[in-house]
Amino acid sequence: MAQAYMTETGSGGQGPDRRGTRIRRLFTHLRTDRGIWRRGIVLAVFALLVGLVTAGHAQIPNRFGNLGSLLETFLPWLGLLVPVLFVLALVRRSATALIAVLLPAIVWLNLFGGLLVDRTGSGGDLTVATHNVNADNPDPEKTARDVAASGADVVALEELTASAVPVYERTLAATYKYHSVQGTVGLWSKYPLSAAAPVDIKLGWTRAMRATVASPEGKLAVYVAHLPSVRVKMEAGFTARQRDKSADALGEAIADERLPDIALLGDLNGTMNDRALNAVTSQMRSTQGAAGSGFGFSWPASFPMARIDQIMVKGLEPVTSWTLPETGSDHLPVAARVKLSATAS
């Protein structure tokens, strides 16, 4: 009886012999079905193209409608093509396509796999936040209350209008004793501010500023910036020339900063992958990339697809980074906790 039971399990059950039979059948099928290598050639070529575009995005020129920057703005979304291509390769029963899909999968994981890991920490000295409040915000008072409830020690606001500034000043006064508004950007702080002044980003009006924050752990320079908007037009492509010019000017100002600890808060209208922001991104770290969890997309608030609202640091050590709930703006606020360097004091 025992022998009969063992034979039945090995031949018709789920034991090792059964699994071995399935593997042998698979390899036999691969040897005998020559079409498995010939099918799906077009699919394989497309998969290789996706991989090459993802890996070589920096080589795609900007001189034709800023196509390179447009691709880099939404580059993480190319990863959605990988599971689609994998399923299509299975449906086509194409070994060639399955192997080709490995290229975009490996490239995407190399670029963005680290963002899938929770890198948040604990501790830190200072919490900062930034929010494009939207010039057409129907309820600036509620937005101000939401920002104050974030618990941030320092808050930057962008796209302020002359009519809304008194609302923000009045609503935030109880939480933030110090503030400065320069043009359409402003900085609110629980700690003293000094040397607040506009930063010229070559626009002809003020959309950037700098101030020194005297925190209990030391001084840091805080820059607030709202770079020009970009547009996608059928006749012109991705129009970002003014944004790029302003980014270069902002990068020069940060490079000339004398304080060792620097934070840049604002709506840069571009992502960390966009080579047009290199004047800034080459010298600063993204708090989301260093200490966040996930991609931290901030725009549009109803269905975030890109992180164009940035908290970037130089000298400071990011501890954790996150996005805040909707406030009525078309952007999500973003926040980060940072640790000051030993030389900040």
Q: Which are the contacts of 134, defined by CB distance < 8 A and separation ≥ 6?
A: 159, 328, 329, 330, 331
Q: What local confidence, expressed as pLDDT, does residue 238 receive?
A: 52
Calpha distance 174→177 (Å, rounded): 7
Whether 233 and 312 map to the same domain: the answer is yes
| DSSP state for residue 177 in the 8-state scheme | S
pTM of the model as a whole: 0.85
Beta strand residue intervals within 66-165, DSSP E:
126-132, 154-158
Q: Are residues 195 and 332 in the same domain?
A: yes
* 3-state DSSP assignment of residue 75: helix
Q: For the residues 187-194, what does the mean pLDDT come to?
A: 98
Last residue of a domain, one of 116, 135, 168: 116
Question: How far apart, in whole angstroms, are the C-alpha atoms of residue 47 and residue 237?
Answer: 25
Cis omega (within 30 of 0) for bond into 300: yes
162 is a domain residue = yes
SS3 144: helix
How would residue 34 be classed by pLDDT, with cut points 50, 70 and 90?
low
pLDDT band with cut points at 50, 70 and 90 for residue 230: confident
Domain-located, residue 11: no
| Buried b / exposed e along 269-301 (16+ C-beta atoms within 10 A) | bbbbbbbbbebbbeebbbbbbbbbbebbbbbeb
For position 2, what pLDDT does the model report? 45
For position 306, what pLDDT does the model report? 96
Phi, psi of 126 (to 5 degrees): -150, 135
Are 102 and 194 part of one and the same domain? no
pLDDT beyond 70 at 26? no
DSSP state of 273: T
Q: Are 316 and 261 in contact (CB under 8 A)?
A: yes
Work out how many domains the chain is built from and give that number. Answer: 2
- 277-309 pLDDT, tens per residue? 999 999 999 999 999 999 999 999 999 999 999
Same domain, 168 and 274: yes
Provide mean pLDDT across the span 324-338. 97
Whether 202 and 279 map to the same domain: the answer is yes
Query: Average pLDDT for residues 34-59, to the nearest whole number?
Result: 91
- Where does a domain end: 116, 137, 169? 116
Q: Which of 202, 218, 198, 220 is nearest to 210 (CA)?
A: 198
User: 171: domain CATH number?
Assistant: 3.60.10.10
- Between CA 90 and CA 83 the distance in angstroms is 11
pLDDT at 236: 43
DSSP 8-state code for residue 74: T
pLDDT band at residue 240 under the 50/70/90 scheme? confident
pLDDT at position 28 is 64
Percentage with pLDDT > 70 across the chain: 88
pLDDT per residue as tens digits for the range 128-185: 999 999 999 999 999 999 999 999 999 999 999 999 999 999 999 999 999 999 999 9
> At 60, which helix (H) or strand (E)?
none
pLDDT at 231: 67
- Does one domain contain both 106 and 141? no
pLDDT of residue 343: 81
95 and 215 both lie in a single domain: no
Residues 173 and 137 in one domain: yes
Note whether residue 260 is domain-resident. yes
Domain that holds residue 149: 126-339
Q: How many CA atoms, within 13 angstroms, populate the side-chain half-sphere of residue 227? A: 28
Same domain for 78 and 226, yes or no, is no
pLDDT band for position 66 (cuts 50, 70, 90): confident
More reliable by pLDDT, 333 or 25: 333
Give the amino acid at 301. A
Instruction: Tell me: pLDDT of 86 over 50.
Output: yes
Does residue 140 share a domain with residue 107? no
* 98 and 65 belong to one structural domain: yes
Mean pLDDT of 28-37: 66
Q: Do 81 and 160 belong together in one domain? A: no
Residue 10 lies in a domain: no
**Which residue, 116, 144, 173, sits at the end of a domain?**
116
Residue 3 lies in a domain: no
Mean pLDDT, the chain, integer: 90
Residue 132 domain flag: yes
Per-residue pLDDT at 5: 42
pLDDT at residue 31 in the model: 58
Decide if pLDDT at 13 tops 60. Answer: no
* DSSP 8-state class, residue 326: P
- Please check the confidence at residue 17 and state whether its pLDDT lies above 70: no
Percent of the chain beyond pLDDT 90? 79
Confidence of residue 239 (pLDDT cuts 50, 70, 90): low
The answer to whether residue 232 sits within a structural domain is yes
Q: Give the sign of the dihedral formed by CA 128, CA 150, CA 308, CA 305.
A: positive
Q: CB neighbours of 259 closer than 8 A, spacing ≥ 6? A: 212, 219, 220, 221, 315, 344
Asked if residue 282 lies in contact with residue 174, where contact means CB atoms within 8 angstroms, the answer is no
Mapped onto helix, strand or coil, the DSSP state of residue 324 is coil
The verdict on residue 68 lying in a domain is yes
Pair of tokens at residue 181: 């508004």
Kindly report the backbone phi and psi dihedral angles of residue 230, in degrees, each rounded to the nearest multiple of 5, phi listed first: -115, 155
